[in-house]
Structure 1
Amino acid sequence: MKPVLRNVVALTAASLLHAGCGTPSTAQDKSGKLEVQWLGQTSMKVTTPGGKVIVIDPFLTNNPKTPPEYKNLDALGKVDLILVSHGHMDHSADAPALAKKNNVPVYGPAGLNQVWITLGVLPPALSVRFGKGGTITPLGPDIKITATHAEHSSEIVWKNPETGKDESHIGGEPVGFILELENGFKIYHMGDTGLFGDMKFIGEYYKPDLIIVPVGGHFVMSPKDAAYATREWLKPKYALPVHYATFPELKGTPEEYVQALGSSSTKVFPIKPGEKLNF
């Protein structure tokens, strides 16, 4: 499938190119299409070809890169499912509030979701545990979501209401997600991760069409590392670089990622927070 961009420019592995630029459109105009909206860091809103809305790693209200209009969680509209890759606040901060607002479950690492239940952050019905290698179908059999390995850590900071003090709690093990949608299109949301050799297996076994890849370095892959994983192991049709410039430590850029990617058939979309891709 050829992606249609909304007011963005596509980066190929070698240079900047205009690719399939379309006119601005609404979600209603794109009925039956996949829409992927980046909201900063690794926060994504995915509208599937069947119209289901999946929000991944919601960090919006205090995210310096999230467009102002999306700092109001109501701006997301309908939400059918929330996925959280790990417990760090820049991936999970708004998940409990969003789950309660929409009465929809958060699926995430078993250890993280158990901690939320134990601490009373979310009730069991809204904090559903699953683990690496597990595949879930909470939106019906046509949408399959599988948790993968991620090379990172996972903790949460919780303010104890009795003491008024912050406490750190282990938040399970970090994961990535493979989303296989109604039309067979596969997204690999890598979460936060460094390089690990089984990315090659993920590329060969799941064959993702689009990867959502962290490139900022320090806590995650550098542009060079991310390019190696893309070119040598994952080999997707499309890549969306994320998790950069949100905080001073995240110095890697999409331009460095593309330069490191070199000669590759993967098309890279360096969109800005709030912008969307249609496939």
Structure 2
Amino acid sequence: MTLKVLLVPVTPFEQNCSILICEETLKAAIVDPGGDLPRILQALSNANVTPEKILLTHGHIDHCAGAPALSKELNIPIEGPHEAERFWLEQLPMQSQRFGFPQAESFEPNRWLVDGDQVTVGNVHLDVKHCPGHTPGHVVFYSANDSLAVVGDVLFAGSIGRTDFPRGNHADLIRAIKEKLFPLGDDIVFVPGHGPTSTFGQERKTNPYVGDGA
């Protein structure tokens, strides 16, 4: 196990901002810094790590609104999500008004990601899985060596992502979970965008939306 995960709940939506740490190099990636940047910066300082990049799963405000400011503050690039999220990132100022968040600026990441890409954190390689449905350009980050996936709002313990947002698609979401995530293995621990972690095996057994009995 070379990848360590620190969870920092941010925004009024209690979104799981994940700090992924390569234990060999103490380099870190910040996944989905939606807000509360002082809290994220304090967690980085407490862990005594060197932030290397920001990774984004999708363009909803609670997952990405803090990314531009954090990128500037730490002088690190933003990677992800898939380019199908461009419209969400362009609408961040509107999203902030709609959900009563602090004013958020629209931005473009340094690198859009596609299915099959890899991103690195120190010596750790993460595979990029494009998993549309909750949003059209949602991506998941997966480390086979660490049996770990960071899945954003695709899948939760006992639930799945909403698909009633613009360009959401329920059938796409179910297909992504069953065809791209579950085949990775029952023992894979996943970090969702909200709530507790679980395993793909547990969800396959018990999840009322995508479990074997659904």
Is 1:42–2:10 an aligned residue pair? no
Q: Distance in 1 between matches of 2:200 and 2:107?
A: 36
One-letter amino acid of the structure 2 residue matched with residue 196 of structure 1: I
Is 1:149–2:131 an aligned residue pair? yes
Q: Distance in 2 between matches of 1:140 and 1:75?
A: 18
Please, which runs of 5 or more residues in structure 2 have no aligned partner?
10-14, 93-104, 155-159, 161-172, 208-214
SS at match of 2:51: coil
Deviation at residue 45 of structure 1 after TM alignment: 0.8
* Percentage of pairs with the same residue: 24
State TM-score, norm by structure 1: 0.48
Equivalenced residue count is 165
One-letter amino acid of the structure 2 residue matched with residue 56 of structure 1: V
User: Larger C-alpha radius of gyration, 1 or 2?
Assistant: 1
1:110 to 79, 83, 86: 83
Instruction: Give the structure 2 partner of residue 80 of structure 1.
Output: 52
Q: Deviations over 1:1-45 (max 9, x none)?
A: 6xxxxxxxxxxxxxxxxxxxxxxxxxxxxxxx5321111112111
Q: Distance in 1 between matches of 2:6 and 2:125?
A: 18
SS at match of 2:112: strand
Q: Is the 8 A contact 1:146 1:179 kept in 2?
A: no
SS at match of 1:104: coil
Q: Deviations over 1:216-244 (max 9, x none)?
A: 6xxxxxx9xx98964354x8xxxxxxxxx
Instruction: Give the structure 1 partner of residue 163 of structure 2.
Output: none
Instruction: Give the structure 1 partner of residue 189 of structure 2.
Output: 210
Higher relative contact order (CA 8 A, sep 6+): 1
Q: Distance in 2 between matches of 1:55 and 1:230?
A: 26
Please, which runs of 5 or more residues in structure 1 have no aligned partner?
2-32, 63-68, 154-171, 217-222, 236-259, 262-279
State TM-score, norm by structure 2: 0.60
Q: Distance in 2 between matches of 1:137 and 1:174?
A: 15
Structure with more helix by fraction: 2
Q: Deviations over 1:37-84 (max 9, x none)?
A: 11111211111222220111112328xxxxxx616x365243112111
SS at match of 1:76: helix
Q: Distance in 1 between matches of 2:56 and 2:3?
A: 20
